[in-house]
């Protein structure tokens, strides 16, 4: 049986890991290589790196860091941020990424999903969606959650999967950084319409939030979080042992 996955997410800016609350007020946490190695040695099932640098220099620095991470860490690596075309897939895959996450780049140019899936396979293409409630529906937000695109998130995700996205990361802006638990309602709405793995993101504040997530929504494949792991509020190995003891399949 496939295990559920626990995934720490590292936002990287100018070579350092940062994490903002509700996407604002970034705080410098640590080195991506050190943090990545720490997580890999301490139970993380996968690592997600988001490059939130906008400049060309920052992007180059990120590529170098990614190579260093990939040569020291032997678990699956997903990379996102600044993925605007198939050439960006090529760039990060050559640095050792296993999967590539698209978000704003796919909103601007939806054909990137189909083109990347055709070239590298669906297993390589992750569609990451920042969604928020607007007038009773879920809207897709762009630019790190700052801009309402007006698009319906459920329709957008259905389309992405039809075009070849092999995995969905659903980040609820409503619960992100609030630490009161994952957005179960929004996640259920997505799980009900797609057959590819869904990764829950946004809102984890304690171990019990992960138990509730996997018990309530058996179709969710993974839980992703950042600051609770980075600041040591939740220890991944300890979390996984707790989940396993409650009958949730885990790699220990």
User: Active-site positions?
Assistant: 11, 130
Instruction: Using the minimum distance from each CB to other proteins, give the nearer residue, 16 or 67.
Output: 67
Instruction: Using the minimum distance from each CB to other proteins, give the nearer residue, 74 or 136.
Output: 74
Minimum gap (Å) between residue 3 Cβ and other proteins? 5
* Cβ neighbours for 177, distance < 8 A, ≥ 6 positions apart: 20, 21, 22, 23, 202, 227
The correct pick among 30, 31, 59, 76 for binding other proteins (CB under 8 A) is 76
The correct pick among 60, 94, 108, 146 for binding other proteins (CB under 8 A) is 94
Q: Cα(47)–Cα(29) distance, rounded to whole angstroms?
A: 16
221 binds other proteins (CB under 8 A): yes
Minimum gap (Å) between residue 141 Cβ and other proteins? 27
Residue 228 and residue 195 in contact, taking contact as beta carbons nearer than 8 Å: no
Minimum gap (Å) between residue 101 Cβ and other proteins? 15
Instruction: Using the minimum distance from each CB to other proteins, give the nearer residue, 67 or 241.
Output: 67
Q: Cα(204)–Cα(178) distance, rounded to whole angstroms?
A: 8
Per-residue buried b or exposed e for 154-190, using 16+ beta carbons within 10 Å of the residue's own CB: bebbebbbebbbbbbbbbbbbbbbbbebbbbebbebb
Q: Kindly identify the residues of this chain, within the stretch 36-75, that bind other proteins according to CB under 8 A.
A: 40, 45, 67, 70-72, 74-75
Collapsed DSSP state (helix, strand, coil) of residue 82: coil
Number of C-beta neighbours around residue 10 at 10 A: 24
Number of C-beta neighbours around residue 107 at 10 A: 19
Stretch that binds other proteins, among 8-16, 177-185, 189-197, 210-218 (CB under 8 A): 189-197
Among 138, 140, 122, CA closest to 130: 140
Stretch that binds other proteins, among 11-19, 55-63, 95-103, 210-218 (CB under 8 A): 95-103
The correct pick among 123, 137, 180, 246 for binding other proteins (CB under 8 A) is 123
166 binds other proteins (CB under 8 A): yes
195 binds other proteins (CB under 8 A): yes
Q: Which residues, listed in sequence order, are joined to residue 3 by a DSSP beta bridge?
A: none
Give the binding-site size for other proteins (rule: CB under 8 A): 27
Residue 59 and residue 78 in contact, taking contact as beta carbons nearer than 8 Å: no
Binding site for other proteins (CB under 8 A): 1-3, 5, 40, 45, 67, 70-72, 74-76, 93-96, 98, 121-123, 166, 195-197, 221, 251
């Amino acid at each position: 049986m496939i295990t559920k996955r626990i995934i720490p997410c590292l936002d990287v800016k100018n070579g350092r890991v940062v994490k903002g609350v509700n996407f604002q007020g970034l705080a410098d946490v640590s080195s991506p290589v050190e943090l990545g190695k720490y997580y890999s040695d301490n139970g993380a099932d996968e690592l997600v790196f988001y490059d939130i640098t906008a400049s060309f220099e920052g992007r180059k620095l990120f590529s170098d860091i990614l190579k260093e991470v990939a040569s020291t860490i032997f678990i699956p690596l997903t990379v996102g941020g600044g993925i605007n075309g198939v050439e960006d897939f090529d760039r990060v895959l050559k640095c050792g990424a296993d999967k590539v996450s698209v978000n704003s780049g796919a909103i601007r140019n939806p054909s990137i999903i189909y083109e990347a899936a055709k070239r590298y396979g669906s297993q390589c293409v992750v569609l990451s969606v920042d969604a928020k409630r607007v007038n009773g529906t879920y809207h897709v937000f762009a630019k790190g959650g700052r801009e309402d695109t007006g698009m319906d998130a459920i329709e957008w995700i259905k389309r992405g999967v039809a075009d070849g996205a092999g995995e969905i990361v659903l980040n609820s802006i409503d619960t992100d950084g609030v630490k009161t638990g994952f957005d179960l309602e929004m996640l259920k709405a997505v799980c009900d319409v797609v057959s590819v793995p869904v990764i829950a993101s946004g809102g984890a504040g304690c171990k019990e939030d992960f138990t509730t997530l996997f018990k309530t929504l058996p179709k969710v494949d993974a839980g992703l979080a950042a600051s609770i792991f980075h600041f040591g509020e939740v220890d991944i190995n300890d979390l996984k042992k707790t989940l396993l003891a409650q009958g949730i399949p885990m790699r220990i």
